[in-house]
Amino acid sequence: MNGMKIVSRNRKAKFEYTLYETFEAGIELRGTEIKSIRAGQVSLSEAYVRTNGKQAWLVGAHIAPYDQASAFNHDPERERRLLLHKREIRALWDGVRLKGMTIIPTVIYLRDGLAKVEIALAKGKRQYDKRQDIKKRDMAREVDRAMDHRALDHRTKRVDN
């Protein structure tokens, strides 16, 4: 992905939700907000997307005030309009209204100088789903350790011969 710099990632998104379909959206920003994003001062931990079928807004994303802006700074918690095609907004609206899904932001990144956000239609995981994910991750980690250990043993045997 040329010209792309990831600014902020919602790390809990994949753990808390099952992600189904992702969309790329532009963000309508004020002048000092883009400067804060370029400085990496963004948090998506409490953010979600709200839509009414005609427009979509990024709610709860924290973009820190820009230090050099003084009196002309922005509100860090304001709702920001997302720039999507009508068919994408309709798909998001149908997912929320008909299927009971949630829309969450997963990544904010800069591409060719423009701030973009990746949003996903998602369903919240139950507690037992989270436990299963932890169990799979731990088992995969154990397998990787065993394979690394085995490869290390194999290399040392060759050296001894």
Task: Assess whether pLDDT exceeds 80 at residue 153.
Answer: no
Instruction: Identify whether residues 104 and 153 lie together within a single domain.
Output: no
Instruction: Identify whether residues 95 and 152 lie together within a single domain.
Output: no
How many domains does the chain fold into? 2
> pLDDT value at position 150?
76
Task: Assess whether pLDDT exceeds 70 at residue 159.
Answer: no
Q: Indicate the pLDDT class of residue 6, thresholds 50, 70 and 90.
A: very high
Q: pLDDT, tens digit, for every residue of 8-50?
A: 999 888 888 999 999 999 999 988 888 889 999 999 989 999 9
In the sheet that 4-9 helps form, which strands lie side by side, from edge to edge? 4-9, 102-111, 114-124, 17-27, 80-83, 56-59, 48-51
Instruction: Identify whether residues 90 and 141 lie together within a single domain.
Output: no
CATH number for the domain including 9?
2.40.280.10
> pLDDT value at position 76?
83
Task: Assess whether pLDDT exceeds 80 at residue 156.
Answer: no
Q: Indicate the pLDDT class of residue 84, thresholds 50, 70 and 90.
A: very high
> pLDDT value at position 157?
61
Instruction: Identify whether residues 100 and 134 lie together within a single domain.
Output: no
Name the residue with higher pLDDT: 121 or 73. Answer: 121
> pLDDT value at position 10?
92
Pairing of strands 42-43, 56-59: unpaired
Q: Read off the pTM.
A: 0.76
Instruction: Identify whether residues 98 and 148 lie together within a single domain.
Output: no
Q: pLDDT, tens digit, for every residue of 103-150?
A: 999 999 999 989 999 999 999 888 877 888 889 889 999 988 888 877
Q: What is the domain range of residue 75?
A: 4-125
Name the residue with higher pLDDT: 72 or 119. Answer: 119
Instruction: Identify whether residues 115 and 63 lie together within a single domain.
Output: yes
Instruction: Identify whether residues 117 and 54 lie together within a single domain.
Output: yes
